[in-house]
Amino acid sequence: MRKFIIILTQISILSSSEIIPFSIPTIDLDNRTDLQTTVDREEGVYLGHPTTVLLEDGQTILTVYPKGHGKGAIVYKRSEDGGKTWSDRLPVPPNWSTSKEVPTIHRVIGKEGEKRLIMWSGLYPARLAISEDDGLNWSPLHPAGDWGGIVVMGFVEPLKKPGHYMAMFHDDGRFFTKDGKWTGIFTLYQTNSIDGGLTWSHPLPIYQNNEIQLCEPGLIRSPDGNQMAILLRENSRTKNSHVMYSQDEGQTWSEPKELPRELTGDRHTGKYLDDGRLFISFRDTAPNSPTQGDWIGWVGTFNDIVLGKPGEFRIRIKDNKHKWDCAYPGVEILPTGDIVTTTYGHWKEGESPYILSVRFHIKDLKLNP
Protein backbone atom coordinates (compact mmCIF):
# COMPACT_ATOMS: atom_id res chain seq x y z
CA MET A 1 0.00 0.00 0.00
CA ARG A 2 1.31 3.44 -0.91
CA LYS A 3 2.02 5.73 1.99
CA PHE A 4 1.27 9.44 2.05
CA ILE A 5 2.95 11.94 4.32
CA ILE A 6 0.30 13.39 6.62
CA ILE A 7 0.63 16.71 8.39
CA LEU A 8 -1.90 16.46 11.25
CA THR A 9 -2.56 19.82 12.77
CA GLN A 10 -4.26 21.65 15.58
CA ILE A 11 -4.67 25.37 15.98
CA SER A 12 -2.33 26.84 18.56
CA ILE A 13 -1.56 30.35 19.72
CA LEU A 14 1.92 31.32 18.57
CA SER A 15 3.80 34.51 17.95
CA SER A 16 3.38 36.21 14.58
CA SER A 17 6.74 34.91 13.37
CA GLU A 18 5.99 31.26 14.08
CA ILE A 19 4.18 28.65 12.01
CA ILE A 20 0.49 28.26 12.82
CA PRO A 21 -0.85 24.82 11.84
CA PHE A 22 -4.28 24.33 10.27
CA SER A 23 -7.31 22.82 11.96
CA ILE A 24 -7.64 20.11 9.28
CA PRO A 25 -5.03 17.58 8.08
CA THR A 26 -2.82 18.10 5.05
CA ILE A 27 -1.82 15.26 2.71
CA ASP A 28 1.58 15.81 1.11
CA LEU A 29 1.97 14.71 -2.53
CA ASP A 30 5.19 16.61 -3.19
CA ASN A 31 7.33 13.48 -3.63
CA ARG A 32 4.73 11.52 -5.61
CA THR A 33 6.57 11.83 -8.92
CA ASP A 34 4.48 8.93 -10.29
CA LEU A 35 1.50 11.33 -10.31
CA GLN A 36 3.39 14.20 -11.97
CA THR A 37 3.94 14.91 -15.67
CA THR A 38 6.11 17.72 -17.01
CA VAL A 39 4.00 19.63 -19.53
CA ASP A 40 6.73 22.01 -20.63
CA ARG A 41 10.18 23.03 -19.46
CA GLU A 42 12.88 25.16 -21.09
CA GLU A 43 16.22 25.88 -19.50
CA GLY A 44 16.57 29.53 -18.50
CA VAL A 45 13.05 30.42 -19.68
CA TYR A 46 10.20 31.38 -17.37
CA LEU A 47 7.08 29.32 -18.20
CA GLY A 48 4.06 30.20 -16.11
CA HIS A 49 0.35 30.77 -15.47
CA PRO A 50 -1.37 28.00 -17.47
CA THR A 51 -5.11 27.48 -17.79
CA THR A 52 -6.77 24.35 -19.17
CA VAL A 53 -10.01 23.19 -20.74
CA LEU A 54 -11.31 19.60 -20.98
CA LEU A 55 -13.13 18.68 -24.19
CA GLU A 56 -16.28 16.57 -24.28
CA ASP A 57 -14.46 13.33 -25.07
CA GLY A 58 -13.29 13.36 -21.45
CA GLN A 59 -9.64 12.86 -22.44
CA THR A 60 -8.47 15.84 -24.50
CA ILE A 61 -7.12 18.71 -22.41
CA LEU A 62 -5.88 21.96 -23.98
CA THR A 63 -3.61 24.40 -22.20
CA VAL A 64 -2.23 27.88 -22.88
CA TYR A 65 0.43 29.79 -20.95
CA PRO A 66 2.91 32.65 -21.48
CA LYS A 67 6.65 32.54 -21.95
CA GLY A 68 7.30 35.01 -19.15
CA HIS A 69 5.94 36.12 -15.79
CA GLY A 70 2.34 37.04 -16.53
CA LYS A 71 3.17 38.18 -20.06
CA GLY A 72 4.89 37.03 -23.21
CA ALA A 73 4.27 34.88 -26.27
CA ILE A 74 1.46 32.37 -25.75
CA VAL A 75 2.38 28.67 -25.83
CA TYR A 76 -0.31 26.13 -26.76
CA LYS A 77 -0.32 22.37 -26.08
CA ARG A 78 -2.76 19.47 -25.90
CA SER A 79 -3.04 16.15 -24.13
CA GLU A 80 -5.14 13.37 -25.64
CA ASP A 81 -4.87 10.95 -22.71
CA GLY A 82 -6.16 12.93 -19.75
CA GLY A 83 -2.91 14.68 -18.90
CA LYS A 84 -0.61 11.64 -18.91
CA THR A 85 1.35 12.94 -21.91
CA TRP A 86 1.45 16.26 -23.73
CA SER A 87 2.10 17.31 -27.31
CA ASP A 88 4.95 19.43 -28.55
CA ARG A 89 4.21 23.15 -28.74
CA LEU A 90 1.50 23.64 -31.36
CA PRO A 91 1.42 26.34 -34.07
CA VAL A 92 -0.56 29.47 -33.20
CA PRO A 93 -1.45 32.72 -35.02
CA PRO A 94 1.52 35.12 -35.24
CA ASN A 95 -0.04 37.86 -33.10
CA TRP A 96 -0.33 35.51 -30.11
CA SER A 97 3.31 36.49 -29.58
CA THR A 98 2.11 40.01 -28.70
CA SER A 99 0.15 38.90 -25.62
CA LYS A 100 0.65 41.31 -22.73
CA GLU A 101 -0.71 39.16 -19.94
CA VAL A 102 -1.89 35.75 -18.71
CA PRO A 103 -3.96 33.94 -21.37
CA THR A 104 -7.07 32.02 -20.28
CA ILE A 105 -8.94 29.38 -22.31
CA HIS A 106 -12.65 28.49 -22.00
CA ARG A 107 -15.38 26.37 -23.60
CA VAL A 108 -18.50 28.29 -24.68
CA ILE A 109 -21.65 27.12 -26.46
CA GLY A 110 -23.98 29.24 -28.60
CA LYS A 111 -27.75 29.51 -28.47
CA GLU A 112 -28.18 26.75 -31.07
CA GLY A 113 -25.66 24.44 -29.42
CA GLU A 114 -22.67 25.45 -31.54
CA LYS A 115 -19.45 24.75 -29.63
CA ARG A 116 -16.43 27.01 -29.68
CA LEU A 117 -13.35 27.79 -27.63
CA ILE A 118 -12.31 31.29 -26.66
CA MET A 119 -8.99 32.52 -25.32
CA TRP A 120 -8.53 35.84 -23.53
CA SER A 121 -5.40 37.98 -23.24
CA GLY A 122 -5.59 40.93 -20.84
CA LEU A 123 -4.37 44.44 -20.10
CA TYR A 124 -5.50 47.17 -22.54
CA PRO A 125 -7.26 46.35 -24.74
CA ALA A 126 -8.53 42.95 -23.60
CA ARG A 127 -8.28 40.68 -26.63
CA LEU A 128 -10.00 37.50 -27.68
CA ALA A 129 -9.14 34.57 -29.97
CA ILE A 130 -11.73 32.05 -31.16
CA SER A 131 -11.65 28.43 -32.36
CA GLU A 132 -14.69 26.83 -33.99
CA ASP A 133 -13.10 23.36 -34.36
CA ASP A 134 -12.10 22.34 -30.83
CA GLY A 135 -8.74 24.09 -30.97
CA LEU A 136 -7.38 22.74 -34.25
CA ASN A 137 -7.39 26.24 -35.72
CA TRP A 138 -7.51 29.62 -34.01
CA SER A 139 -8.18 33.20 -35.00
CA PRO A 140 -5.69 35.94 -34.22
CA LEU A 141 -6.25 37.96 -31.06
CA HIS A 142 -8.66 40.87 -31.60
CA PRO A 143 -9.92 43.56 -29.19
CA ALA A 144 -13.10 42.65 -27.32
CA GLY A 145 -13.89 46.33 -26.74
CA ASP A 146 -12.45 49.65 -25.66
CA TRP A 147 -11.48 48.36 -22.23
CA GLY A 148 -8.98 46.13 -20.49
CA GLY A 149 -7.97 44.65 -17.16
CA ILE A 150 -5.81 42.28 -15.15
CA VAL A 151 -6.14 38.46 -15.45
CA VAL A 152 -8.87 38.60 -18.09
CA MET A 153 -10.73 36.21 -17.53
CA GLY A 154 -10.19 33.97 -14.50
CA PHE A 155 -13.54 32.31 -15.22
CA VAL A 156 -16.23 32.31 -17.90
CA GLU A 157 -19.49 30.97 -16.43
CA PRO A 158 -22.52 29.75 -18.40
CA LEU A 159 -25.76 31.35 -17.27
CA LYS A 160 -29.14 29.63 -17.29
CA LYS A 161 -30.26 31.13 -20.60
CA PRO A 162 -28.64 29.30 -23.59
CA GLY A 163 -25.70 31.17 -25.10
CA HIS A 164 -25.44 33.59 -22.17
CA TYR A 165 -22.18 33.84 -20.20
CA MET A 166 -20.68 35.95 -17.44
CA ALA A 167 -17.02 36.69 -16.77
CA MET A 168 -15.09 38.79 -14.26
CA PHE A 169 -11.71 40.40 -13.80
CA HIS A 170 -10.15 43.20 -11.78
CA ASP A 171 -8.15 46.34 -12.44
CA ASP A 172 -6.27 48.94 -10.41
CA GLY A 173 -6.87 51.88 -12.76
CA ARG A 174 -3.98 51.23 -15.12
CA PHE A 175 -5.55 49.11 -17.84
CA PHE A 176 -9.32 49.61 -17.89
CA THR A 177 -8.88 52.55 -20.25
CA LYS A 178 -6.19 53.35 -22.81
CA ASP A 179 -4.54 56.07 -20.75
CA GLY A 180 -5.35 54.70 -17.32
CA LYS A 181 -3.31 55.47 -14.23
CA TRP A 182 -2.72 53.47 -11.06
CA THR A 183 -5.19 54.40 -8.33
CA GLY A 184 -4.18 51.98 -5.61
CA ILE A 185 -7.79 50.78 -5.43
CA PHE A 186 -8.86 47.44 -6.88
CA THR A 187 -12.17 47.27 -8.75
CA LEU A 188 -13.97 44.05 -9.67
CA TYR A 189 -15.64 44.18 -13.08
CA GLN A 190 -18.28 41.99 -14.69
CA THR A 191 -18.97 41.50 -18.39
CA ASN A 192 -21.62 39.39 -20.14
CA SER A 193 -22.09 37.69 -23.49
CA ILE A 194 -25.46 36.81 -25.06
CA ASP A 195 -24.10 35.24 -28.26
CA GLY A 196 -22.11 32.27 -27.04
CA GLY A 197 -18.95 34.17 -26.17
CA LEU A 198 -18.40 35.94 -29.49
CA THR A 199 -18.98 39.46 -28.15
CA TRP A 200 -18.97 40.92 -24.65
CA SER A 201 -20.65 43.85 -22.93
CA HIS A 202 -18.78 46.87 -21.64
CA PRO A 203 -17.74 45.79 -18.11
CA LEU A 204 -19.52 47.22 -15.08
CA PRO A 205 -17.95 47.57 -11.62
CA ILE A 206 -19.44 45.31 -8.95
CA TYR A 207 -17.14 46.02 -5.98
CA GLN A 208 -14.48 48.50 -4.91
CA ASN A 209 -12.80 49.08 -1.56
CA ASN A 210 -9.78 51.18 -0.65
CA GLU A 211 -8.95 49.11 2.44
CA ILE A 212 -8.92 45.57 1.07
CA GLN A 213 -7.79 44.58 -2.43
CA LEU A 214 -10.08 41.87 -3.79
CA CYS A 215 -9.10 40.41 -7.13
CA GLU A 216 -8.72 37.30 -9.33
CA PRO A 217 -12.24 35.90 -8.78
CA GLY A 218 -12.93 32.19 -9.22
CA LEU A 219 -16.56 31.09 -9.43
CA ILE A 220 -18.28 28.02 -7.93
CA ARG A 221 -22.01 27.32 -8.07
CA SER A 222 -24.00 25.69 -5.31
CA PRO A 223 -24.86 22.02 -5.92
CA ASP A 224 -28.39 22.97 -7.05
CA GLY A 225 -26.97 25.62 -9.40
CA ASN A 226 -29.01 28.47 -7.93
CA GLN A 227 -26.30 30.28 -5.96
CA MET A 228 -22.98 31.61 -7.24
CA ALA A 229 -19.95 32.13 -5.04
CA ILE A 230 -16.83 33.98 -6.15
CA LEU A 231 -13.67 33.26 -4.17
CA LEU A 232 -11.31 36.22 -4.13
CA ARG A 233 -7.63 36.85 -3.53
CA GLU A 234 -6.99 39.61 -0.97
CA ASN A 235 -3.96 41.40 -2.31
CA SER A 236 -3.15 43.73 0.58
CA ARG A 237 -2.30 40.58 2.61
CA THR A 238 -4.02 42.04 5.67
CA LYS A 239 -7.07 39.72 5.53
CA ASN A 240 -7.97 36.18 4.53
CA SER A 241 -9.36 35.51 1.08
CA HIS A 242 -13.00 36.56 0.66
CA VAL A 243 -16.24 35.26 -0.85
CA MET A 244 -19.22 37.03 -2.42
CA TYR A 245 -22.57 35.47 -3.38
CA SER A 246 -25.25 36.00 -6.00
CA GLN A 247 -28.75 34.51 -5.93
CA ASP A 248 -29.86 36.04 -9.25
CA GLU A 249 -27.37 34.90 -11.91
CA GLY A 250 -24.91 37.68 -11.21
CA GLN A 251 -27.33 40.63 -11.34
CA THR A 252 -26.52 41.54 -7.73
CA TRP A 253 -23.82 40.45 -5.30
CA SER A 254 -23.55 40.25 -1.53
CA GLU A 255 -20.98 42.15 0.47
CA PRO A 256 -17.71 40.17 0.70
CA LYS A 257 -16.84 38.22 3.81
CA GLU A 258 -13.65 36.50 4.85
CA LEU A 259 -13.06 32.84 4.12
CA PRO A 260 -11.44 30.47 6.62
CA ARG A 261 -7.67 30.49 6.76
CA GLU A 262 -7.67 27.02 5.18
CA LEU A 263 -9.00 28.56 1.93
CA THR A 264 -6.82 31.66 1.94
CA GLY A 265 -4.79 31.90 -1.23
CA ASP A 266 -4.55 33.18 -4.78
CA ARG A 267 -6.45 32.22 -7.95
CA HIS A 268 -8.96 29.66 -6.65
CA THR A 269 -10.05 27.13 -9.26
CA GLY A 270 -12.70 24.62 -8.16
CA LYS A 271 -14.64 21.66 -9.57
CA TYR A 272 -17.09 19.17 -8.10
CA LEU A 273 -16.02 15.58 -7.51
CA ASP A 274 -18.30 12.59 -8.18
CA ASP A 275 -19.27 12.39 -4.51
CA GLY A 276 -20.45 16.01 -4.36
CA ARG A 277 -17.44 17.39 -2.55
CA LEU A 278 -15.43 20.27 -3.97
CA PHE A 279 -11.77 20.20 -4.97
CA ILE A 280 -10.32 23.73 -5.05
CA SER A 281 -6.74 24.42 -6.07
CA PHE A 282 -4.81 27.63 -5.36
CA ARG A 283 -1.56 29.14 -4.13
CA ASP A 284 -1.39 29.13 -0.33
CA THR A 285 -0.98 32.65 1.09
CA ALA A 286 -2.40 32.05 4.58
CA PRO A 287 -0.36 33.93 7.20
CA ASN A 288 2.12 31.74 9.08
CA SER A 289 1.02 28.70 7.08
CA PRO A 290 3.27 25.60 7.14
CA THR A 291 2.73 25.39 3.35
CA GLN A 292 2.81 29.10 2.53
CA GLY A 293 3.67 29.74 -1.12
CA ASP A 294 3.02 26.12 -2.14
CA TRP A 295 0.54 24.63 -4.61
CA ILE A 296 -2.47 23.52 -2.56
CA GLY A 297 -5.72 21.63 -3.00
CA TRP A 298 -8.67 21.92 -0.62
CA VAL A 299 -11.43 19.32 -0.21
CA GLY A 300 -14.72 20.19 1.41
CA THR A 301 -18.30 21.11 0.55
CA PHE A 302 -20.06 24.18 -0.75
CA ASN A 303 -21.82 24.33 2.61
CA ASP A 304 -18.42 24.54 4.32
CA ILE A 305 -17.79 27.74 2.36
CA VAL A 306 -21.20 29.19 3.19
CA LEU A 307 -20.87 28.39 6.90
CA GLY A 308 -17.22 29.47 7.16
CA LYS A 309 -16.02 25.98 8.06
CA PRO A 310 -12.42 24.87 7.39
CA GLY A 311 -13.32 21.92 5.16
CA GLU A 312 -12.26 18.26 5.32
CA PHE A 313 -8.58 18.25 4.39
CA ARG A 314 -5.91 20.02 2.37
CA ILE A 315 -3.39 18.64 -0.12
CA ARG A 316 0.08 20.01 -0.67
CA ILE A 317 0.27 19.14 -4.35
CA LYS A 318 3.81 20.46 -4.82
CA ASP A 319 6.44 22.24 -2.76
CA ASN A 320 7.28 25.56 -4.41
CA LYS A 321 10.93 26.60 -3.98
CA HIS A 322 9.91 30.26 -3.96
CA LYS A 323 8.07 32.17 -1.28
CA TRP A 324 5.07 32.97 -3.50
CA ASP A 325 5.47 32.52 -7.27
CA CYS A 326 3.40 29.52 -8.40
CA ALA A 327 -0.05 27.99 -8.88
CA TYR A 328 -2.45 29.67 -11.23
CA PRO A 329 -3.97 26.21 -11.64
CA GLY A 330 -6.19 24.59 -14.21
CA VAL A 331 -8.48 21.90 -12.73
CA GLU A 332 -10.27 19.23 -14.75
CA ILE A 333 -12.30 16.22 -13.54
CA LEU A 334 -12.21 13.22 -15.90
CA PRO A 335 -15.14 10.81 -16.39
CA THR A 336 -13.17 8.33 -14.24
CA GLY A 337 -13.27 10.81 -11.37
CA ASP A 338 -9.54 11.52 -11.67
CA ILE A 339 -8.44 15.07 -10.94
CA VAL A 340 -6.02 16.60 -13.44
CA THR A 341 -4.61 19.86 -12.16
CA THR A 342 -1.95 21.81 -14.04
CA THR A 343 0.16 24.79 -13.08
CA TYR A 344 3.59 26.40 -12.97
CA GLY A 345 6.07 26.81 -10.16
CA HIS A 346 9.67 26.86 -9.04
CA TRP A 347 9.78 23.08 -8.68
CA LYS A 348 13.59 22.81 -8.70
CA GLU A 349 15.82 24.97 -6.53
CA GLY A 350 17.63 27.59 -8.62
CA GLU A 351 15.83 26.74 -11.87
CA SER A 352 13.29 28.68 -13.91
CA PRO A 353 9.60 27.91 -13.35
CA TYR A 354 8.03 25.22 -15.52
CA ILE A 355 4.65 23.57 -16.05
CA LEU A 356 3.54 20.41 -14.24
CA SER A 357 0.36 18.37 -14.49
CA VAL A 358 -0.66 16.16 -11.56
CA ARG A 359 -3.28 13.42 -11.91
CA PHE A 360 -4.81 11.52 -8.98
CA HIS A 361 -8.11 10.20 -7.63
CA ILE A 362 -9.43 11.54 -4.38
CA LYS A 363 -10.33 8.04 -3.12
CA ASP A 364 -6.65 7.07 -3.24
CA LEU A 365 -5.69 9.77 -0.75
CA LYS A 366 -5.66 8.16 2.68
CA LEU A 367 -5.81 10.18 5.88
CA ASN A 368 -4.31 7.38 7.95
CA PRO A 369 -0.92 8.37 9.42
3-state secondary structure 188-237: EEEEEECCCCCCCCCCEEEEEECCCCEEEEEEEECCCCCCEEEEEEECCC
E strand intervals along 96-213: 103-109, 115-121, 127-131, 142-143, 150-158, 165-171, 186-193, 204-209
In a domain, 37, yes or no: yes
CA 4 to CA 341: how far, in whole Å? 19
Is residue 268's pLDDT more than 80?
A: yes
In a domain, 17, yes or no: no
Query: Which CATH number covers residue 292?
Result: 2.120.10.10
Residue 8 pLDDT class (50, 70, 90 cuts): very low
In a domain, 123, yes or no: yes
In a domain, 8, yes or no: no
| Tens digit of each residue's pLDDT (9 = 90 or more) over 11-66 | 333 335 689 999 999 999 999 999 999 999 999 999 999 999 999 999 999 999 99
Q: Residue 297 belongs to what domain range?
A: 22-364
Residue 366 pLDDT class (50, 70, 90 cuts): confident
In a domain, 369, yes or no: no
In a domain, 4, yes or no: no
The per-residue pLDDT for 70 is 84
**Please, what's the b/e burial string for 181-214 (b: 16 or more CB within 10 A of its CB; e: otherwise)?**
eeeeebbbbbbbbbebbeebeebeebbeeeebbb
In a domain, 1, yes or no: no
Cα separations in angstroms, 256 against 30, 122, 144, 217, 285 = 33, 25, 29, 12, 18
Q: Is 261 helix (H, G, I), strand (E, B) or coil?
A: helix
Please count the residues of the chain: 369
Is residue 234's pLDDT more than 90?
A: yes
Q: What percent of the residues of the chain are helix, what percent strand, and what percent coil, each to the nearest 5?
A: 5, 40, 55
Is residue 6's pLDDT more than 60?
A: no
In a domain, 179, yes or no: yes
- Candidates 250, 91, 234, 259; CA nearest to 156 is 250
Provide CB contacts within 8 A for 190, sequence distance 6+.
166, 167, 168, 203, 204, 206, 250
The number of domains in the chain is 1
